[in-house]
Amino acid sequence: ELKVEQNPLFLSMQEGKNYTIYCNYSTTSDRLYWYRQDPGKSLESLFVLLSNGAVKQEGRLMASLDTKARLSTLHITAAVHDLSATYFCAVDKRYDNYQLIWGAGTKLIIKP
Amino acid sequence: GAGVSQSPRYKVAKRGQDVALRCDPISGHVSLFWYQQALGQGPEFLTYFQNEAQLDKSGLPSDRFFAERPEGSVSTLKIQRTQQEDSAVYLCASSTRSTGLETQYFGPGTRLLVL
């Protein structure tokens, strides 16, 4: 059974600091996704990582994928308050690739 | 263009009532998904449509849950005889399946509270 684990589940940090959110998954998967969710809002797609060693960056967020370790990271550089949200990773079920299996989410609070 | 829309945004039901939740996917999107998100959790898959065909309903928690997409566009998730454990946010997502990138675009969700 494919399982996805994120850590930490809750993170409070100061503006200007760097931090990393980790996403581990239990079996081989084709693709890994990062989404952002603001309170009471929908899920917004951030990154799709398709292959081993893939790295994508958008502003202060950078995501990477290591398929051998079954690990993805979401790195936040010089955090700003606007990045406060809950971040989810999700993976495809291989050979069943329309269904996403989700982590529990990391609630990120960035204090001024 | 318009994103995925869902209605109603909020629904309060008495236990035992039937409810119907609507999803309007992005125009032209072939695939449509329903997820259930409990408070503080990630979404959990309920069911999947490709056009009008329901290809996977393995995530539906009981036979009280029923989904349809009769014309391959708008979809309705129906819950019969609602129970308190059905309280959650119900998310709809759509994707193109035209490029091999399976990014799913989500609607705002319907927050269901069963009293």
Q: Which of A4, A42, A97 sits opposite B106 (nearest CB)?
A: A42
B45, B51, B56, B59 alpha-carbon torsion, rounded to 10° = 30
DSSP-assigned beta bridge partners for residue B33: B48, B93
Region B35-39: mean pLDDT is: 93
Tell me how close the Cα of B107 comes to any Cα of chain A, in angstroms.
6
Given this model, what pLDDT does residue B2 score? 80
Residue ranges of chain B whose CB lies within 8 Å of a chain A CB: 3-4, 31, 33, 40-45, 48, 50, 55-56, 59, 91, 93, 95, 97, 101-109
A46 touches chain B (CB under 8 A): no
Section B9-24 average pLDDT:
97
Q: At CA A88, angle to CA A85 and CA A92, rounded to 5? A: 160
A100 neighbourhood in chain B, CB within 8 Å: 33, 43, 45, 104
pLDDT at B97: 72
Q: What is the pLDDT of residues B55-111, one digit of tens each?
A: 889 999 999 999 999 999 999 999 999 999 999 999 999 988 754 556 889 999 999
Decide if pLDDT at B49 tops 60: yes
Interval A46-88: pLDDT, tens = 999 987 888 999 999 999 999 889 999 999 999 999 999 999 9
